[in-house]
Structure 1
Amino acid sequence: MVHVADELKRKSAEIGAEIDELRTRISKLQQQRAAFDIVIQTYEPDYAVAASRTVARRRNGDGADDISALFKDIDRRSFTLRTLRQAGRPITTGECALAFAREVGLEQDDPRMGKIGNRFSQVLDQLARANRVRRAEMADGHRHLWEISA
C-alpha cells in the first residue's frame, strides 16, 4: 500500500511540474500576443483589444509583493535543504515548490506556483554553488532532479 501512495505522490508532483511549465508557456504567449496587439494598433488605431486579453505588465518589482509576503518569515535555504532531506530521493524544483505550497497552505494549482518555483530554482542554484546540493540527473530530459550533496 505504501508503494502505491509513493507512486501517486510522484505522479502528482510530475503533473504539478508540468502545470508550472504550462503556466510559464502561457504567460510568454500572452506577452507575445499583447505585443502583436500593440503593433496592430499602430496600423489600425481603432483596433480594440478585448479586456480579457490584456496582460498586466510588472516593472520594477511591481506585483512581487504577493510572493514576497509568502516568503516573509521563511528561511528558503533551510526549507529547501529540509525538503530534500525529507523526500529521501532526488526531487524537482516543482516538487520543492509544491512542498512549500503545502506548508504555507496554498493549493497546488495556485496561480503563483510558477513564481514560487522560480524562487526555489534560485535557491537551489545558490545551494549548488555552495556545494550543499547537486543536480542528480534529468527527470524527463529537461527538468533537473536535486539532491543533498554527499
Structure 2
Amino acid sequence: MGIADELKTKRAEIGERIEAIRKEIAEMERQQAALDAVIAIYEPDYAASAPRNRRARRKANPNGTLAEVFNGIDRRSFVLRTLREAGRPITTSDCAVALAKEVGLPSDDARLGQIGNKVSQVLDQLAKANRVRRAGKVDGHRHLWEINQA
C-alpha cells in the first residue's frame, strides 16, 4: 500500500469519526430538548438558556471603541477642513494624527492605526465624490491627498 492510499484510508476514518460525532451531537440535543420540556412542567417560568458561543471574541482595541473617538464628529467635514488648513497635500496618517489631536488623544494611542483606517475610508469616499484627489505618493506607497480644485 502506497503513501497516498494510507492517507486516503486515514481521511476516510476521520470522515467516519466526524459523522459519528455529528450523530452523537444530534442525539444529545434531542435529550437536552426533552429535559427542557420536563423541567418546564415543574417550573413554568423556566426558559432554556441559549447555547453560549464557543469562543469569546477579543476586544479589537484595548483602550475603548472608535465610536467613543468619533462621537459627535463629522469625519467628512473634518477631513476636508484638515486638507484645506494644511495648504499642501498630506498623508492619511497626517490626517489621522490631526483627528486624534482634535479629540484629545495622545499621539501614541493604540487606536491611531484604526483611526487611520477610518480616515482612509473617508478619503476614498471623498475621492469617489470628486471632493479630494490623490496628489502623488510619499515613500513610493503612501498617498498624498489634497482638495480637488476641479
TM score, norm. by length of structure 1: 0.58
| Separation of aligned partners in 1, 2:104 and 2:126 | 25
Which has the larger share of helix? Answer: 1
Deviations 1:21-63 (A, max 9, x none): xxxxxxxxxxxxxxxxxxxxxxxxxxxxxxxxxxx955xxx64
Q: Matches of 2:123 and 2:57 in 1, distance apart? A: 27
Per the alignment, residue 94 of structure 1 pairs with: 93
The answer to whether the aligner puts 1:105 opposite 2:91 as a matched pair is no
Higher relative contact order (CA 8 A, sep 6+): 1
Q: Which has the larger radius of gyration?
A: 2
1:127 correspondence with 2:126: yes
Q: Write out per-residue CA displacement over residues 68-91 of structure 1, whole angstroms, 9 at most, x where no aligned residue.
A: 111010000000000000000000
Match of 1:85 in 2: 84
| Structure 1 moving runs of 4+ over 3 Å | 62-65
Quote the sequence identity (%).
66
Q: CA RMSD in A?
A: 1.7
**Equivalent residue, structure 2, for 1:19:** none
Gaps of 5+ in 1: 1-55
Q: State how far apart, in whole Å, the 2-side matches of 1:130 and 1:69 are.
A: 27
Quote the Cα distance in structure 2 between the aligned partners of 1:111 and 1:138: 25
